[in-house]
Structure 1
């Protein structure tokens, strides 16, 4: 089946954080505190998804205050931090939402994402993901993680669902 037809069925997009919503870098200040870098284009893409009715969730292997703050700021309520084994949270999430695997997309970048990616209807990867992750993906971004890849993925999904143009028009007013 063509990737566009798979994308047209998606009701839930699950995001990884490090290497997808961020560039994967760890930035240390002079006191040894770690911070993370997020892209505002990704944030606006998330707002587009929410406006279009595309559900969002975040399952991440790490638990970091900056990530939690950004997720809250973006209004994503399905947030599962500190989950090195993501598959149980994916299974719980789709059961609670009454979704089928073919109605779910997941965008990842590393081996920790593979178990969920093998279960969803549309596995997606950022272009700088590990080769094995790209190899199992049905869609790969042109932009790297943390540099607008999530916005690109959301635009692709909304376009395949016939929703993107209306979102653009609403934001252009």
Structure 2
């Protein structure tokens, strides 16, 4: 089935963080603290998704204060940090929300994402994902992680659901 048809069924979008919501880089300040870089286009895309009624969750392998703050700023309540094994949290989300695999999309970039990606209805990869992730993805962004790839994925889903134009009209005036 074409990715656009799969996207039309999506009710929940799950995002990885490092390499997807961020560029995957580790930035150190003068005191040796690690910081993260997020893209405002991705953040606005997340707001569009929420406005359109698309549910969002974040499952990430690391636990970092900057990520927690950004997720809170964006109003994403389903946040699972420090999860090297993501599948149990995916299954928890399915059960809690009463969803089927085909109603979920996942944006990933690396091997840690694969166990969930092979289950979801629409596995999505960022442009700079590992080659093995491309092999299991049904959609690949033209942008790299941390540089608007999440916005692009959200726009793809909302367009497939016939919701993107209404959001465009509202925001663009």
Normalised TM-score (structure 2): 0.99
| Counterpart in the other structure of 1:64 | 64
1:28 aligned to 2:23? no
- The separation in 1 between residues aligned to 2:3 and 2:151, in whole angstroms, is 17
Structure 1 Cα separation of the partners of residues 6 and 90 of structure 2: 18
Distance 2:2 2:35 in 1: 39
Separation (CA, whole Å) in 1 of partners of 2:114 and 2:172: 37
Cα distance in 1, alignment partners of residues 161 and 97 from structure 2: 20
d(CA) in 2 for partners of 1:82, 1:9: 29
Query: Is there any run of 5+ residues in structure 2 with no aligned partner, and where?
Result: none
Across the aligned residues of Structure 1 and Structure 2, the Cα RMSD in angstroms comes to 0.4
Is 1:120 the counterpart of 2:117? The answer is no
TM-score, with length taken from structure 1: 0.99
Question: How far does residue 30 in structure 1 lie from its aligned partner after superposition?
Answer: 1.3
1:2 CA drift (Å): 1.0
Structure 1 stretches lacking a partner, 5+ long: none
For 1:1-173, list aligned pairs within 5 A: 1-173=1-173
SS at the partner of 1:67?
Answer: helix
| CA displacement at 1:172 relative to structure 2 | 1.5
For residues 127-168 of structure 1, what are the alpha-carbon distances to aligned partners after superposition, in whole Å with 9 as ceiling and x for unaligned?
100000011100000000000000000000000000000000
- How far apart in 1 are the matches of 2:2 and 2:30? 49
